[in-house]
Each structure stands twice: as structure tokens, then as C-alpha cells.
Structure 1
Amino acid sequence: MNQIVQYLTFGVAEDLFAAPVGRVREILDLAPISRLPRSPAELLGMIDVRGASVPVVDARRLLGLEETTDTTNTRIVVLTIMRRSRETVFGLKTDRVFEVTSLDEGALEAPPEIGAGNWNAGAITGIGRRNGAFVTVFDVDRLFDAVDSAQGAIAA
């Protein structure tokens, strides 16, 4: 019997993505973001969430997509992730948030294996379907590796 897992689905450009609900702390309307000097392009800056400083990463930049103008649907999904063996909190700026839904865990397909190159499928847990549309399920712990890599390149 397959375990049913709840996911938060959100959109970036025309694509549908998901993160496990257990990792979602909250969903925020777009708030002013304080920029950080010499930070990687994916890292937009910091926001205040009830007195805590939370770094915000742009999902579009993280996925290598072109930037677009924010809309009334733009949201920041606050996620709990494991980084360097400790729990931390990040915000992920998305174009829109859809719903909390169930995907059959057993029905997730492995990400496609495509030769060597810059494409990193490691940040993807699997590919599911919701109402006939593909849903890319993120491994939220590995999703932010690109930011860590870019920070290392800046420090070097």
C-alpha cells in the first residue's frame, strides 16, 4: 500500500512544482526584500518574518528562467530545510501558489537521466501528476545547493 503524502503546489513560469507540506512553514504575500551585497543572483536578500531574518531565493533564477515582473499572485513560500547538518529556514519566491494536494508517493517517477552537463536532477525527488499536468517534486534540502555553490565561488 502506497503512502499518501501532502504537497504544496506552486507555479514558476508555466510549470507546476511541489514541496512536501511538512517542510512548509507558511506562505507570505510578497514583502520588501533587503538586498545583500555581492550575493549570488539566486539570493534576492532577506525578509523579516516575525522578528527572524529569512533569506529569500528566487525560484525563477534558481531554475535558470528569465525574470518577470512580480504580480499580485507572487508569493514567498517559507521552507524548513537541512543545510550543513542543521535545520534552517529559507523563503522561495514563486509566481503563484495553488493548493495543498495529495500525490501517490508510489506513482512518482524518477527524474529523467540525461547525460553529463549542467542539469542537476539531484534537487528533484520525482515527477508526479495532478489533474493530467506534470508536477515536479523538489528535494527541498538539495534545492538550495546552487546558492551554496555560488557563494563558494564568490568566496574563492
Structure 2
Amino acid sequence: MAEITQYVTLGIASELLAVPVERVREILESQPLSRLPHAPPWFLGMIDVRGQGVPVVDLRVKLGFDAGEDTENTRIIVLEARMEGHELTLGLKTDRVFEVTPLDDTDLEPPPRVGAGWRPEFIVGIGRRNGAFVTVLALDHLFASTEVALIAPAEMDSGVGDIKSGAS
């Protein structure tokens, strides 16, 4: 029997998105961030997760939506992404997290090709959950090489970045 992929479903604006559960380390409530000067609008700052500084990205802004106000449902999903050949621990600020679930069909539809300005490389595919479309994010492609250098220079240079080590 084939193993069924589980996803963490989340929301930004009115959109339903998902990330593979095996990439998620933990889900945190919104918390104060240490902002960095001259950072791009999508880079919110750093949080401390068990002694490790973790960069936090506003997923709404990164995906082209207007920034939103934090609510009691705002969450930071701490996860692992592979970027530029390195593992990077980062936080994605989302409006809400729904559940861990499989999608209705194990096969995802490919992202649509709709023309200039659209970034289909950010998406693994489109699935469905209870009749609603679910956009599965391509975590490893959300950031260009120049953006990775902005949010993880120490990890890129030293190879450090394992959230489980707790080393400082």
C-alpha cells in the first residue's frame, strides 16, 4: 500500500495553501519579532526557537498579497526548506493553520500557465480538500538565491542551521 502524503493546511487571505507535514518542525503562536534594518517587506525579522535565531517571512507579502493584521489565529510555521543546496530553518507567518490531512486525491494538478508576472515555480501543484482547491507550496523555490543570502548568510557560510542541535 502506497504511503499517503500528509499536509499542513493553512490560510492567507481567503486562500487555502498546504505544505508537506514532514517539512514542518512546529507551529507557534504569533510572537514579537526582532526586525532588521533595510530588510525587504516580506522579511519580518527573527524569532528565538530553543536558542536558535529563525528568520520569519510574511507569506502573504511573499506571495503578492497585501500585508494583514495579526489576529488570535495568526501562526508561525517553523519548517525546513532546501535552498541553494543548504537546509534552512525558517518561519512562515500565516493567517491561520487548519489541520494536518491528506488531500482528497494523491495526484496534484500542475500549476496553471497563465502568462507573465505569475510565478508557477512557487507551486508544486493544486489539490483538493473537501471540494476546495488547495495550493501546495514549493518551499524550495519560494526564494531566489539573492533572497536566500538575505535571510540566511550565517547558515549558508557555515552549514549551521539544525534546529534540533540547540547549539549556539
Shared fold by TM > 0.5?
A: yes
Unaligned runs of 5+ in 2: 151-168
The residue number in structure 1 matching 2:82 is: 82
Distance 1:146 1:21, change over 3 A: same
Cα offset for 1:145? 3.0
Deviations 1:10-41 (A, max 9, x none): 00000100000000000000011110111111
| Equivalent AA in structure 2 for residue 63 of structure 1 | L
Determine if contact 1:129/1:135 at 8 Å carries over to the other structure. Answer: yes
The residue number in structure 2 matching 1:93 is: 93
Distance 1:109 1:146, change over 3 A: farther
Cα offset for 1:123? 1.1
CA distance in 1, matches of 2:145, 2:80: 17
CA distance in 1, matches of 2:37, 2:136: 31
SS of equivalent to 1:105: coil
CA distance in 1, matches of 2:16, 2:145: 20
Give the total of aligned pairs: 149
Determine if contact 2:84/2:145 at 8 Å carries over to the other structure. Answer: no
Determine if contact 1:111/1:125 at 8 Å carries over to the other structure. Answer: yes
Which structure 2 residues correspond to residues 5-154 of structure 1 after superposition, within 5 A? 5-103=5-103, 104-106=105-107, 108-115=108-115, 117-145=116-144, 148=147, 151=150
- Which is richer in strand? 1
Aligned-pair RMSD on alpha carbons?
Answer: 1.8
Deviations 1:97-119 (A, max 9, x none): 0000002332x10000112x221
Distance 1:17 1:27, change over 3 A: same
Distance 1:147 1:120, change over 3 A: farther
CA distance in 2, matches of 1:105, 1:86: 28
Determine if contact 1:43/1:147 at 8 Å carries over to the other structure. Answer: no
Determine if contact 2:77/2:94 at 8 Å carries over to the other structure. Answer: yes
The residue number in structure 1 matching 2:164 is: none
**Segments of 4+ moved more than 2 angstroms:** 144-147
Cα offset for 1:146? 8.4
